[in-house]
Amino acid sequence: MPPLDETDRRLLDDFQRGFPLTPRPYAVLGQRLGLAEDEVRRRLGRLHDAGIISRVGAVVRPHTAGCSTLAALAVPPADLERVAALVSAQPEVNHNYQRDHAFNLWFVICADSREAVGAVLERIADASGLEPLDLPLLEDFHIDLGFPLWT
């Protein structure tokens, strides 16, 4: 991990909530941090390239903009990398991860509708030869994932 200075830390800590919803949010962040807009973008790009952050973007309440599901596959261990790559290649899959469980490959699908989610699950089943476990959201809970990274 590259060394982070105090400005990087503030950029990561201070704007997990209350990100400015303006036409030029990076200019607003820069003003608050005493930086030029381009410097904010450069720093965020460096943090992204280093794998410290994966994205800067909104988190919206489930099913207010499209539809999603949590899904899992029971993949033979020798085939895990191939199937994970197949799942990752689906544009509607936003991430997948391995778990120590009989269902060892978990992923989230986001699409325009429940029917579109079903079509992605079918494509994955056809391509992998495995039947996905579909776990659609039944009740949502607000979990605040913003937390101080440094004290």
pLDDT, tens digit, 9 for 90 and up, residues 22-81? 999 999 999 999 999 999 999 999 999 988 887 887 766 666 678 999 999 999 999 999
pLDDT interval class at 95 (50, 70, 90): confident
Average pLDDT over residues 130-140: 91
73 and 37 within one domain: no
75 and 119 within one domain: yes
pTM of the model: 0.63
Domain membership flag for residue 144? no
Higher local confidence (pLDDT), 62 or 93: 93
Q: What pLDDT score does 109 carry?
A: 95
Average pLDDT over residues 128-140: 92
Cα distance between the two ends of the chain = 19
Residue 137 · residue 68 · CB < 8 Å? yes
The answer, yes or no, to whether residue 150 has pLDDT greater than 80, is no
The answer, yes or no, to whether residue 115 has pLDDT greater than 90, is yes
pLDDT per residue as tens digits for the range 11-25 = 998 888 888 999 999
* pLDDT cut 70: percent of the chain above it: 89
71 and 42 within one domain: no
Residue 143 · residue 135 · CB < 8 Å? no
The answer, yes or no, to whether residue 90 has pLDDT greater than 90, is yes
40 and 77 within one domain: no
Q: What pLDDT score does 37 carry?
A: 97
Domain membership flag for residue 148? no
Domain membership flag for residue 151? no
The answer, yes or no, to whether residue 2 has pLDDT greater than 90, is no
45 and 82 within one domain: no
Q: What pLDDT score does 3 carry?
A: 82
Output the six-digit token pair for 105: 């490959």
Spatial separation of the C-alpha atoms in residues 123 and 115, rounded to whole Å: 12
Domain membership flag for residue 61? no
Its domain, for residue 103, covers 67-135
37 and 81 within one domain: no
Q: Which amino acid is at 35?
A: L
